[in-house]
Structure 1
């Protein structure tokens, strides 16, 4: 697990009501002056915003401005994002050429709002303007006379003008009178840091998931199998459904149900966002306990004549607090779980909770004391052993054994 920070600064309309937020990379492990590292920083902001914190939690119902580099645009990274929530902010460092123009045109036609950052009108940018919705003008970069001339030159293009780095009320009133509709700067709001804990995903698991989700004959069962054996993938999938941009018709009680709800297209979108992250291996012992517990809950459910999917999910998420470094209440609150599943995890209530509690307290050297639901104690011991062997095989397959 890794702590991370995202800068968030409000953007206001002319009535000083919140229009959107700009999300900014805040960290030390990428040099933003290096093009490739700036691209990685954007990818990190996207993955942390959508997979870790949740878009609704960080910007509420508003849009999110995110900076995109040449490489982000050429790779069509925004196409993995919701076009009604993300404003593509094209950095001033982007070099305008035919490939960039084509990418911006495609993204505009896909329904995205396009903004140009720190814009200065020049011949190179003229072919792009027909696809642009918002121009950001850096008020601090030049004197106000120069800024006014730029605004006058841009008026024929019927674009929305956003004055950024506004420092005083006088500047705000003046820029508003000149035609600016949107405003950003220290006069209104300084950037605030939003922190979170990044739950790492095993790189091998993520690659397997990417391959399975993007096959021509993609199979829900194969995808579900990969997700179901990884705690953080399961958590991220549920968090994505709950906090991004879906109107849930029901609450979720199993991974197969979550996959079925998303559908293949949205599932592929989620996997592609996931791959933007800097993936690393989580501590083996945490995953091992979660896998053993989940498998044991599933097999006990089968012995009781119950479908095992819900029990497996409860077992997996019973380790969410250890994985995220937050309270279990907080972890469960962020997921679209049924009341039964949530209560089972939090309070060990209901039949599912009883199975979880039994699996968590099971001690193999006290076999005679561990009869459960009329299941023979020797069979329970066999289930426990099978769960250990299964977890070991899974960990070995994704390179985490030993």
Structure 2
């Protein structure tokens, strides 16, 4: 299954592309569907930024993204780097004190704010000092009306962006009026981009929503839910690997990730996923195999009585061992956007270490390559019976996890 987004270039006065506006699509039809604007924004973030990153869609240029009231009040833009995004405030938002406070905080953090389809109404006056860019629909107003309206804007540091420019004459006239950014069919129509979705089980998401409504979070239960869903785990790691968290942390286990993110941001992360409603699909075989590998690697680490910290690393290694297949992207590229511990990354890239040994043994057993599996066990002092019992236990555990999920709905 794929996610779809349209990108439309934004150009400067020399017709050089300097940014892209990202527009939500729910299929291959290049038109905006009948969908709540907050849900559309959440889909763009979860199905694109939390997959491989918006910069992959924009070729490293800034992305203009529409945000409605709820998404702004919940500080969803904070998960994106201020250098890579322009926050478009939709024209029908209500300027509540909560929204103004949220915009003030985003501005303080260095985000650029744009007013979308600006109508020059006086109601926008309270936030004009925060605004960097005003977008004007040049088909909705005549050139004369635009000229008069611009005279009412007192701020001198606001950039003017003309939307829906359709011919050269318009383009030249708007440049004379002080517009320096342009967007419209004269330059390019929105271009469709698709990429494979990271699927998460809706039942797990419902369980997480239930857990976050409790007064005190049950961290072991939440860890268990994430441990049963590679898609959720991947999105959690992508969420942590953002400008909001400094891009420096190496995650070694699920518990580490959940403690690091903190209760408030964990709830915000789950609400972002819930709002996008991205989980409509049942668990697939690739999910089951990921779970089997995760538990198998964890059990082997436990059997060998290595350092206690190795067990959660082993679990996470197995859980993410098929993430390239889930995303349909090269593994090296995927690992670039995940804040994983170096031992886990090395193992996933087939570099020999203790974690890769567990993973390799898991793959031998999966293929029924008993001869090489037995030789592998002998070299490491691991009894064959222990290995095969661990694999059977892992199979039973994965099936029980999926069966528990299946009766939630």
Secondary structure (helix, strand or coil) at the match of 1:111 reads: helix
- Relative to 1, partners in 2 of residues 1:300 and 1:141: Cα closer, same or farther, differing over 3 Å? same
Q: Is 1:317–2:324 an aligned residue pair?
A: no
| Mean CA deviation greater in 44-53 or 286-295 | 44-53
C-alpha deviation, 1:170, in angstroms: 5.6
Matched residue, 1:109: 104
Q: Is 1:80–2:67 an aligned residue pair?
A: no
| Mean CA deviation greater in 136-145 or 76-85 | 76-85
Matched residue, 1:362: 365
TM-score (norm 1): 0.82
1:349 to 347, 352, 371: 352
Confirm or deny: 8 A CA contact 1:104 1:128 kept in the other structure.
no
C-alpha deviation, 1:38, in angstroms: 4.2
- Relative to 1, partners in 2 of residues 1:75 and 1:41: Cα closer, same or farther, differing over 3 Å? closer
- Relative to 1, partners in 2 of residues 1:167 and 1:76: Cα closer, same or farther, differing over 3 Å? closer
Give me the whole-angstrom Cα distance separating, in 1, the residues matched to 2:199 and 2:153: 45
C-alpha deviation, 1:310, in angstroms: 1.4
| Mean CA deviation greater in 227-236 or 55-64 | 55-64
- Relative to 1, partners in 2 of residues 1:32 and 1:7: Cα closer, same or farther, differing over 3 Å? closer
- Relative to 1, partners in 2 of residues 1:186 and 1:381: Cα closer, same or farther, differing over 3 Å? same
Secondary structure (helix, strand or coil) at the match of 1:45 reads: helix
Matched residue, 2:229: 230
Deviation track 1:104-145 (CA, whole Å, cap 9, x = no partner) reads 323322224443222223455556656644321122333322
Give me the whole-angstrom Cα distance separating, in 2, the residues matched to 1:358 and 1:189: 52
Matched residue, 1:7: 6
Confirm or deny: 8 A CA contact 2:3 2:27 kept in the other structure.
no
Confirm or deny: 8 A CA contact 1:138 1:164 kept in the other structure.
yes
Give me the whole-angstrom Cα distance separating, in 2, the residues matched to 1:322 and 1:107: 38
Give me the whole-angstrom Cα distance separating, in 2, the residues matched to 1:130 and 1:327: 45
Give the alignment of 1:262-301 within 5 angstroms: 262-277=261-276, 278-301=278-301
C-alpha deviation, 1:198, in angstroms: 0.8
Kindly tell me the number of residue pairs found equivalent between the two proteins. Answer: 392
Structure 1, unpaired ranges of 5+: none
- Relative to 1, partners in 2 of residues 1:364 and 1:122: Cα closer, same or farther, differing over 3 Å? closer
**Once superposed, what is the RMSD of the aligned Cα atoms?**
3.4
Matched residue, 1:332: 335
Matched residue, 1:137: 136
Matched residue, 2:196: 197
1:395 to 395, 402, 408: 402
Matched residue, 1:381: 388
C-alpha deviation, 1:397, in angstroms: 2.1
Structure 2, unpaired ranges of 5+: none
| Mean CA deviation greater in 249-258 or 317-326 | 249-258
- Relative to 1, partners in 2 of residues 1:220 and 1:162: Cα closer, same or farther, differing over 3 Å? same
Secondary structure (helix, strand or coil) at the match of 2:51 reads: helix
